[in-house]
């Protein structure tokens, strides 16, 4: 197995050692086209083989997770499993517990992707069923290069995270809209409900890629202490992916506390030419029971405050250039546009949600 430390200080593994030739699938468009050419009998055989290997991988990982110290007995048993798994002699000599667990988790994720593609070939309806039944994992929400370093305080927190690709695409659209309306990009971006970092990472990625020559300050707010610590740690892991040259004009900061309270301390010169993103709570699963949702709320000193009202105040009283709300698909913009202070609202639609881009 080839393992080396790159300039970005992240282990990259040669997957060819981990998988036999039959499983060397790169999950991309070309692979999907190739998969369509596989006959059903062959697919079913590959599914059984992949499931068997995943079961063995889980057994090996459980051995390494069962104890902080790796005894000779564990090494002997794991070696037998490695060999059954089809790994080389070099792989069976791994004694680094953390590294072994990391490799196996990566391998299991890869097998999950392969099984999903194979199952979709046999029965296309299985893909949706598997996604519903499977508990969300960190790997579902962050880029594959940094998913192992990501932290979350609960599965519940993951359910509120904007997935990596979606966050990146939305951020790009928002910044292009800002540029179209105001002929520049915001000098300050505020993620009012940072969570564990979904939308924040989307902005960082797009700023680095398309606007790295312009000075931008990105601040993310999170009122839950544990989640805020996860956000700080996740941001550190994420920024390690980028060189100082890429990030030389992009500054990031995580602030713990209620956005509505901390916002009062933001000086006026940092409010102008700014963008505020708010992903207010949807009311757990209850939101789907309503045919129309007219408003969402943030808490201000233990009292609820309408995001519609907050948006108008930010635009008209605080000098913010643009406010973006992430809301359910059946959220009504009626209260936003019917206010005496007129605003323009544009929608960016997704499958279950939409982003309302609001400006004067």
Pairwise CA distance, residues 273 & 184, whole Å = 9
pLDDT in tens, 260-271: 999 999 999 999
Is the whole model's pTM more than 0.75, yes or no?
no
In whole angstroms, how far apart are CA 164 and each of 39, 138, 238, 358? 33, 11, 12, 23
- Residue 140 C-alpha from the chain's centroid: 7
Looking at residues 244-259, what average pLDDT do you find?
A: 87
Confidence of residue 11 (pLDDT cuts 50, 70, 90): very low
The third-level CATH classification (topology) of the domain covering 164-359 is Rossmann fold (3.40.50)
Q: Which of 327, 323, 332, 333 is nearest to 349 (CA)?
A: 327
How is the chain split into domains, by residue range? 3-132, 164-359
- Does 353 have pLDDT greater than 70? yes
Pairwise CA distance, residues 51 & 251, whole Å = 45
Q: Mean pLDDT: which of 57-61, 113-117, 208-212, 294-298 is highest? A: 294-298
Confidence of residue 75 (pLDDT cuts 50, 70, 90): low
pLDDT in tens, 13-28: 333 333 343 344 444 4
- 140 backbone dihedrals φ, ψ, rounded to 5°: -75, -20
SS3 109: helix
Pairwise CA distance, residues 32 & 21, whole Å = 17
Pairwise CA distance, residues 265 & 284, whole Å = 30
pLDDT in tens, 292-315: 888 999 988 778 999 999 999 999
Pairwise CA distance, residues 92 & 244, whole Å = 38
């Amino acid at each position: 197995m080839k393992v080396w430390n790159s300039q970005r200080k992240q282990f990259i593994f040669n997957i060819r050692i981990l998988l036999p030739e039959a499983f060397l699938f790169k999950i991309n468009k070309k692979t999907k086209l190739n998969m369509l050419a596989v006959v059903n009998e062959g697919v079913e055989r590959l599914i059984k083989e992949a499931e068997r290997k995943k079961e063995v991988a889980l057994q090996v990982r459980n051995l390494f997770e069962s104890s902080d110290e790796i005894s000779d007995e564990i090494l002997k048993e794991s070696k037998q499993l490695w060999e059954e798994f089809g790994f080389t002699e070099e792989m069976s000599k791994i004694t680094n517990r953390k590294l072994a667990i990391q490799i196996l988790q990566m391998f299991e994720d890869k097998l999950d992707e392969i099984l999903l593609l194979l199952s979709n070939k046999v029965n296309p309806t299985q893909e949706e069923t598997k996604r519903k039944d499977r508990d969300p994992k960190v790997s579902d929400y962050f880029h594959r290069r940094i998913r192992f370093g990501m932290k979350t305080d609960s599965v519940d927190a993951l359910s509120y995270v904007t997935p990596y690709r979606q966050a990146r695409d939305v951020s790009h659209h928002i910044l292009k809209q800002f540029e179209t309306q105001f002929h520049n990009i915001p000098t300050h971006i505020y993620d009012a409900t940072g969570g564990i970092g979904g939308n924040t990472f989307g902005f960082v990625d797009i700023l680095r890629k398309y606007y790295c020559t312009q000075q931008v300050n990105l601040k993310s707010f999170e009122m839950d202490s544990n989640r805020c610590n996860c956000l700080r740690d996740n941001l550190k892991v994420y920024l390690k992916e980028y060189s100082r040259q890429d990030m030389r004009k992009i500054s990031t900061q995580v602030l713990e506390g209620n956005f509505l309270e901390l916002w009062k301390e933001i000086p006026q010169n940092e409010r102008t030419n700014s963008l505020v993103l708010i992903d207010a709570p949807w009311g757990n699963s209850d939101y789907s029971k309503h045919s129309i949702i007219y408003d969402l709320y943030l808490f201000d000193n233990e009292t609820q405050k309408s995001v519609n009202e907050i948006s108008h105040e930010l635009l008209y009283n605080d000098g913010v250039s643009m406010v973006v709300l992430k809301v359910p698909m059946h959220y009504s913009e009626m209260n936003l546009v019917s206010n005496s202070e007129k605003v323009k609202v544009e929608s960016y639609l997704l499958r279950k949600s939409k982003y309302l881009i609001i400006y004067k």
